[in-house]
Structure 1
């Protein structure tokens, strides 16, 4: 069971996904800081400046619409960067592979396949021997 979990973690997809999540979170923090530091003050400036710029009050309750616009701009910037730097290039590579202009992922060689079969057979023998030993049978 532990070996299966280790194999799952060591797959390239899981590690790539973890890296993507960390980089995405860091990038979102940068975009959020940019919009908070530069765009929100501009929104407040264009809405008249002053104490209640980017806000309005109804019965003493403050509605901060500048923060909503700021979050919307943060989302749009993040989505645009992900689309243009990740989705579009990967889509282009996939289309080139379909047309045969670019090689796909490398297939394992015969030697690599034979080594994998050998290792699986060894694991099977070790598991069988351990099972016989635990059951009290002979290991001969």
Structure 2
């Protein structure tokens, strides 16, 4: 039983569970945003759902709707999650790199002093 408890409390498993829950909650937000964008596109084009579009009897409308939805979801993820995360990493990763460089310099000084 102790091994199972250790497995459940591993950092990776907990992080994965949190990511899953946050992703599910974020999915609702993205779906609502996508519906809003599709309504705006529909106001421009005359129909918010392209599913009924069938030129020559080929069901192209479902594909067009899926592609537009994918592009909107990808844009929301990129601009809402990826870009802010990259900005955060750039801002705070420099401090970590500076610490590493300082340690490296001190190690070099130590090695030179030992060599004398």
Q: TM-score, normalised by structure 2?
A: 0.64
Cα 1:3–1:53 shift into 2, 3 Å: closer
Aligned match of 1:97: 96
1:44–1:53 Cα contact (<8 Å) kept: yes
Could you list the per-position Cα deviations for residues 85-116 of structure 1 after superposition, in whole angstroms to 9, with x for gaps in the alignment? Answer: 43432453333212129xxxxxxxxxxxxxxx
Separation in 2, partners of 1:21, 1:90? 22
The structure with higher relative contact order (CA 8 Å, sep 6+) is 1
Structure 1 gap segments, 5+ residues each: 102-140
Structure 2 gap segments, 5+ residues each: 101-116
Whichever of the two has the greater Rg, that structure is: 1
**How many equivalent pairs are there?**
97
1:45–1:53 Cα contact (<8 Å) kept: no
- Decide which structure has greater strand share: 1
Question: CA RMSD for the aligned pairs?
Answer: 2.6
Q: TM-score, normalised by structure 1?
A: 0.55
